[in-house]
Amino acid sequence: MSSSSLGMNPNSAGMRPNSARSGAPRRWTVAQALVAFLKQQVVERDGQCRPFFAGCLGIFGHGVVAGLGEALQENPDFRYYLVRNEQAAVHTAAAYAKMNNRLCTLVCTSSIGPGATNMVTGAAGATINRLPVLLLPGDIFSRRNVAPVLQQLELPYSQDVSVNDCLKPVSRYWDRINRPEQLITALPEVMRVLTSPADTGAVTLALPQDVQTLAYDYPDELFARRVWIIPRARPDVQLLHKAIARIRASRAPLIIAGGGVLYSEATTALRTFAEQAGIPVAETQAGKGALAYDHPLALGAIGVTGTPGANIMARDADLVIGIGTRYSDFTTASQTAFQNPDVRFVNINVCEFDAFKHAALPLTGDARAVLEELTVALGGYHTDPDYTWRALRYNREWDAEVTRLYNLGRQPLLSQGEVIGAVNAACQPRDVVVCAAGSLPGDLHKLWRTRDPKGYHLEYGYSCMGYEIAGGLGVKMADPSREVYVMVGDGSYLMMPSEIVTSVQEGTKLTIVLIDNHGFASIGGLSRSVGSAGFGTRYEFRDPEQGPLPVDYAANARSLGAHALRAHDLESLRAALGEARGQARTTVIVVETDREERVPGYESWWDVPVSEVSSQESVQRARAEYEKAQRRERYHLI
């Protein structure tokens, strides 16, 4: 009996060598064997198969050019993309994987020193956001006789360490190939982790420069097409019954939809479940889009950057059903969000670690599979009609508030909310907005009207400045049929505008809306709220009398090959957005906004500790407020 007919499932991802054949061994270099293997990896979910790797991003150096570089050159069907920054490459790969609901990703390669450490930030972002990316950094010689090689970190206490060890804590699997045959046992582990919905994240396979080029007689079977089945794990029956009892007993349940809802393609199952039971739905950053913004049960964003309806209903809820959420502090409002003394949790999560958070009744399993079972098993349960009516009222009130913030009529500079409104209006339902750090994520979480589950792409697990353009590139590569709108602050833009060049090179068009507010509106506002008056957050000359720094963002974008436009009011912004839509090339629209005109917070709080002693009265006042607010933080232990 073949292993495929056994439905072999050694861990969460089943492995099926469905075209296993034996033949003569293949004499290939480590790098050639690696690429040949990657090309044969396929994932299958719900009976649909697709290749797992769509190519390789990277920047060559002496650490990979002769090994992996040569192998990639010999495999033109495994496309190589030259990027500008290795960190950006990892962001692009993670965004690509996120847009593909983790069913497909890109490989990233770098040389042995700074190129490899440049990937650490991207790897942390991918791992935190639970997105599969495969990193192939070159590594120092395994042979050692010529050490120290260029860019080698020498440590007096060990010869078994290189800068690639920095990737260990940010990788879900990490390995170093010191002998050619180690590839044979490492690669299945690489694939198991990357395709595991529970374990996925960055995976690092460090490739010593000399080992990459060594030839070896690899078993032919290593290069057979392999199908990795992404399972839809069902919940434990006993726990399901307990969860049903808990839901039936609840008078004020609330669903928190996280990224797992989208990755599991569970949005229809979620809507069916919510409608049948009359349970309102709030969304995290990663889960936004799980329910269309105008659905009567949609409360929109929850937490620090949440809507009043979501945060008030969370405060009162006696049952929180968290689906595919990590419960970050932005979601829990630093553990102040759930104030009902009797509140209990049911968590639906493919990852046991998340399912157990908040002492929840854990339904460990695939979001869609669990929701489908819950919907059937729950039968006729429905919340009080007044309760669902309350959700509808919040939804409509919030929409009116969004309309107000979209139309403030600010003069002479637009508010950020007005810019978001104009971009939202310029979007078709399937278009995608991409963002990561600054004040934009919070405003987008609150204000963006999402009409398609993949229409809202925020990297807010790591909130990494510089992700935006690189991430936009990954989104567009994943789905060229959609227009991609990257919204980016001037600070984030300056950190990594480089991938504009890659987007021009690849003909991967982005519309980049750059908000120029002369520095950090977000951290500046936070600084004021802790009594520190925005210290160190403005892009201005050393002598502030000289005013803001004269950075010409449009000229900068043009110099990188983009089409660039400036907008100064709603009319010119709408015209620029219209022009950008007709452009085939990446277009950057620079718009200056009023930094002080902020979208307020609603019914929430974020724990940012304030100095306990200070010579400044403003800090002392902020500390007193802080201590009061902090008392609302709760443990959820039963």
- Number of residues this chain uses to bind Mg ion (CB under 5 A): 4
Minimum Å gap between C-beta 305 and ligand TPP is 13
Asked whether position 517 contacts Mg ion by CB under 5 A, the answer is yes
Exactly one of 364, 492, 556, 586 binds ligand TPP (CB under 6 A); that residue is 492
Minimum Å gap between C-beta 496 and Mg ion is 14
Our CA dihedral for 330, 333, 339, 345, rounded to 10 degrees, sits at 20
Asked whether position 210 contacts Mg ion by CB under 5 A, the answer is no
Q: From 277, 280, 314, select the one nearest 295 (Cα to Cα).
A: 280
Nearest CB to Mg ion, comparing residues 313 and 440: 440
3-state DSSP assignment of residue 185: helix
Q: Which does 180 bind (CB under 5 to 8 A by kind): ligand TPP, Mg ion, none?
A: none
Cα–Cα distance measured from residue 276 to residue 373, given in angstroms and rounded to the nearest whole number: 13
Minimum Å gap between C-beta 382 and ligand TPP is 42
Cα–Cα distance measured from residue 212 to residue 470, given in angstroms and rounded to the nearest whole number: 28
Nearest CB to ligand TPP, comparing residues 33 and 521: 521
Binding mask 476-505 for Mg ion (x = CB under 5 A): -------------xxx--------------
CA angle at 112 for the pair 36 and 189, rounded to the nearest 5°? 45
Q: Which does 439 bind (CB under 5 to 8 A by kind): Mg ion, ligand TPP, none?
A: ligand TPP
Interface stretch with ligand TPP, choices 95-103, 203-211, 256-264, 489-497 (CB under 6 A)? 489-497
What are the strands, taking DSSP E only, across 350-429? Answer: 361-364
Q: Which of residues 433-462 bind ligand TPP (CB under 6 A)?
A: 437-440
Minimum Å gap between C-beta 68 and ligand TPP is 28
Nearest CB to ligand TPP, comparing residues 42 and 88: 88
Asked whether position 490 contacts ligand TPP by CB under 6 A, the answer is yes
Confirm if 256 and 331 have CB atoms less than 8 A apart.
yes
Q: Which does 289 bind (CB under 5 to 8 A by kind): ligand TPP, Mg ion, none?
A: none
CA-CA-CA-CA torsion sign (553, 554, 555, 561)? positive
Q: Strand 80-82 relative to strand 133-139: parallel, antiparallel, unpaired? A: unpaired
Q: What count of other Cβ atoms lies within 10 Å of the Cβ of residue 380?
A: 7
Q: Which of residues 459-478 bind ligand TPP (CB under 6 A)?
A: 463-466
Angle between helices 499-506 and 86-99 (to 10 degrees): 60
Please give the structure tokens belonging to residue 502: 């890659």
Q: Which of residues 150-179 bind ligand TPP (CB under 6 A)?
A: none
Minimum Å gap between C-beta 594 and ligand TPP is 12
Which amino acid does the sequence have at 216? Y
Interface stretch with ligand TPP, choices 181-189, 243-251, 424-432, 483-491 (CB under 6 A)? 483-491
Q: Which does 440 bind (CB under 5 to 8 A by kind): Mg ion, ligand TPP, none?
A: ligand TPP
Q: From 436, 346, 441, 470, select the one nearest 128 (Cα to Cα).
A: 436
Q: Which does 437 bind (CB under 5 to 8 A by kind): ligand TPP, Mg ion, none?
A: ligand TPP
Nearest CB to ligand TPP, comparing residues 87 and 349: 87
Q: What's the Cα-to-Cα distance from 633 to each of 1, 290, 341, 470, rounded to whole Å? A: 57, 28, 12, 36
Minimum Å gap between C-beta 449 and ligand TPP is 20
Exactly one of 197, 287, 491, 497 binds ligand TPP (CB under 6 A); that residue is 491
DSSP one-letter string for 108-169: EEE-SSHHHHHHHHHHHHHHHTT--EEEEEEE--SS-TTPSPTT---BTTBSS--GGGGGST
What are the strands, taking DSSP E only, across 407-530? Answer: 432-435, 456-458, 484-489, 511-516
Interface stretch with Mg ion, choices 201-209, 329-337, 417-425, 511-519 (CB under 5 A)? 511-519
Instruction: Give residue number: closest CB to ligand TPP.
Output: 489
Confirm if 324 and 260 have CB atoms less than 8 A apart.
yes
Q: Which does 464 bind (CB under 5 to 8 A by kind): Mg ion, ligand TPP, none?
A: ligand TPP
Q: From 437, 607, 415, 606, select the one nearest 522 (Cα to Cα).
A: 437
Minimum Å gap between C-beta 166 and ligand TPP is 16
CA-CA-CA-CA torsion sign (573, 584, 132, 169)? negative
Binding mask 493-532 for ligand TPP (x = CB under 6 A): ------------------------x--xxxx---------
Minimum Å gap between C-beta 477 and ligand TPP is 23
Minimum Å gap between C-beta 595 and Mg ion is 7
- Is the peptide bond prior to 148 cis by the omega test (within 30 degrees of 0)? yes
- Number of residues this chain uses to bind ligand TPP (CB under 6 A): 17
Nearest CB to Mg ion, comparing residues 72 and 591: 591
Give buried/exposed letters for 139-176 (b at 16+ CB in 10 A, else e). bbbbeeeeeebebbeeeeeeeeebbbbbbeebbbbbbb
Asked whether position 348 contacts ligand TPP by CB under 6 A, the answer is no
Residue ranges binding ligand TPP (CB under 6 A) = 437-440, 463-466, 489-492, 517, 520-523
Given the rule CB under 5 A, which residues bind Mg ion? 489-491, 517
